[in-house]
Amino acid sequence: MESGGARRIPERELSQSTHTLEILSMDPQICRICSLDGVQPWDSYISHFESFSDINSWSQCEKAQYLKASLKGDALEIFAELPNTRLDFETLSTALETRFWHAHEGPLFLAQLTMRTREKGESVQQSAQAIRKFVKGANLSLNSAAREDIAFEHFRNALGNIKLQRTVFMSKPRSLAEAVAVAAKTESFQRAQQTHDLKQRGNVRQIVEDAAENKSKSPSMANILQMLQEMKITLVELKDWQQSVKRGQS
């Protein structure tokens, strides 16, 4: 087959792929990756693959080799149909994504992205993950940088909290991951501050209630006047008694 056309995978190349997978299973320092046969969702598989890539610190060249080694079934056929050139990771992953991502669901993903708001109880990490998925499904023709920009804008708008949105925007994050980190830290601080404020308000309320209770227990001015009047009467009676005693003695 001429260079540039579809090709048949040589036995030697298949043997090399098998050998690569054997190395993966034998080396305790390298986590074993699952095979890609085209049955499982592409977004789930590539997320799984990228996680292993991060753990093992693979280079782009190594990622391409391990991705090729993981292919089987329909996915391997896609690889066989690619031009007979030295494939890099970006080219191979784009071809697999185009084939196994459900293109007819693009408008649905776009609609979900447009209406997406942060759900009650949802963490900023979960919100970002959902938005990234919708962006990826709705914009297959965009490069990774454009997807990242769109995902960031939708993530910031979905936060709902104006102060949180402003903080994330002013931090000028270089990626969605940085934006998520800033949002998570800011939100954690806001919650801690709210807890502190509630505690402070509770202390103030208790002081006011204690003061009101003490005031209610204190005698009023009317009670004081009544007590003085009673004391005056008692003194008059005591004086009269003393005088009567003196008259009796004389």
Q: Give the rounded percent of residues in the chain with a pLDDT score beyond 70.
A: 73
Q: What is the mean pLDDT of the chain?
A: 76
Amino acid 120: pLDDT: 86
Question: What pLDDT band is residue 181 in, cutting at 50, 70 and 90?
Answer: very high
Distance from C-alpha of 172 to C-alpha of 180, rounded to nearest angstrom: 12
pLDDT tens string 182-235? 999 998 888 888 776 677 776 666 666 666 666 666 666 777 778 778 888 887
Q: Please state the rounded mean pLDDT for residues 68-90.
A: 80
Q: Please state the rounded mean pLDDT for residues 67-84.
A: 82
Residue 1 has pLDDT above 50, yes or no: no
Residue 7 has pLDDT above 50, yes or no: no
